[in-house]
Amino acid sequence: MIRQFYFENDNGQAFYFKYANNVLLSEVTGLGFSFDYKYLKFDHVFETIKQDVELAEIQGTISFLDGYLGYQKLIDYLTIQSKNLKFYYKDLELKYIYVDVSSLSKTEIIDGYLKSDLTLHKKSYWIKERQLILDFGKNIVGKNYPYKYPVSYLTTKAEETRVSVSGIKNAATIIELVGDVNKPELNVYRQNKVVSSMKLNIDKDKANIIISSIPNNQYMKDLTNGSNIDIYHLQDFSKDNFILLPPGELLIEFKSGRTTNTLCKLTIFEYHLG
């Protein structure tokens, strides 16, 4: 399988490294991981006391098949300010990592093509996104929910479903509730024990509510009818509310508090080493 690479910026604009775009990325290194360890010495024996992921680099060589036109196209793309530039990598599955462009070397003509060396600083683990959809009510069944990237679907009309979470850290989530709710609640079980839970003190018809537990972007918002209202104060403070999913086999339970149409879309962000 041919590996695929591309960037995506904060505005959702992508830059692809492929023949159709006349820009290729090859000789890519640094897709794996490295740890920085700290040790404590006991006589002749060392004990590991701390493990951190290093701020490592991804490096590669860019070939511009249409010369300086392609080089300028990349420069123009990178000039767009983006604090959260994603670098996507696809082989058997699609993953991305947050990066900063550390350097883009001076171009040279090599083997008949204009080439430049690219260095990226990693800012996160590799992230794999998945969607889990729980829906209730006949009016919702059969609706199409288009997603920009390939995702895995698991749909159920029951109030609970099982999911297997992988990765090295607890997976962050974005929960979107669409429909009628009355104190909606989501519970996560592992081996019949609650490991994370959310509950909101909201009673509303045709609601559109979103909750993000992404570490550097946590929020609770009511987006009903085009609004954008902070609802942090409406959470049940006896719950976690910002749902994190531990790796392993889990049971997800959703209660809308209503018997009418409600959809719960759970986006899962798994964190992987490579």
Is the CB of residue 176 less than 8 Å from the CB of residue 265? yes
Q: Within this chain, do residues 20 and 65 fall inside the same structural domain, yes or no?
A: yes
The count of domains in the chain is 2
Q: Within this chain, do residues 249 and 162 fall inside the same structural domain, yes or no?
A: yes
pLDDT recorded at residue 196: 96
pLDDT recorded at residue 34: 79
Which of 54-58, 127-131, 147-151, 264-268 bottoms out in mean pLDDT, i.e. has the lowest?
147-151
- In this prediction, residue 262 has a pLDDT band, given cuts at 50, 70 and 90, of confident
Q: Within this chain, do residues 81 and 96 fall inside the same structural domain, yes or no?
A: yes
Q: Within this chain, do residues 209 and 165 fall inside the same structural domain, yes or no?
A: yes
- In this prediction, residue 150 has a pLDDT band, given cuts at 50, 70 and 90, of very low
Domain CATH code at residue 214: 2.60.120.880
Which of 101, 124, 147 is the last residue before a domain boundary?
Answer: 124
Q: Within this chain, do residues 156 and 263 fall inside the same structural domain, yes or no?
A: yes
Per-residue pLDDT at 140 exceeds 70: no
Average pLDDT, the chain: 88
Q: Within this chain, do residues 62 and 92 fall inside the same structural domain, yes or no?
A: yes
Digit-coded pLDDT (tens) for 75-125? 999 998 778 999 999 988 999 999 999 999 988 888 888 999 999 999 999
Where is 79: in which H helix or E strand? helix 68-79
Q: Within this chain, do residues 151 and 212 fall inside the same structural domain, yes or no?
A: yes
Which of 124, 148, 164 is the last residue before a domain boundary?
Answer: 124
Q: For residue 37, give the nearest of 45, 47, 24, 28 by alpha carbon.
A: 47
Q: Within this chain, do residues 267 and 167 fall inside the same structural domain, yes or no?
A: yes
Is the CB of residue 109 less than 8 Å from the CB of residue 103? no
Q: Within this chain, do residues 132 and 118 fall inside the same structural domain, yes or no?
A: no
Q: Within this chain, do residues 104 and 148 fall inside the same structural domain, yes or no?
A: no
The pLDDT > 70 percentage for the chain reads 91
Q: Within this chain, do residues 14 and 118 fall inside the same structural domain, yes or no?
A: yes
Where is 21: in which H helix or E strand? none
Q: How far apart are CA 151 and CA 14, in angstroms?
A: 18
Per-residue pLDDT at 32 exceeds 90: no
Q: Within this chain, do residues 35 and 169 fall inside the same structural domain, yes or no?
A: no
Domain residue limits at 37: 4-124
pLDDT recorded at residue 151: 41
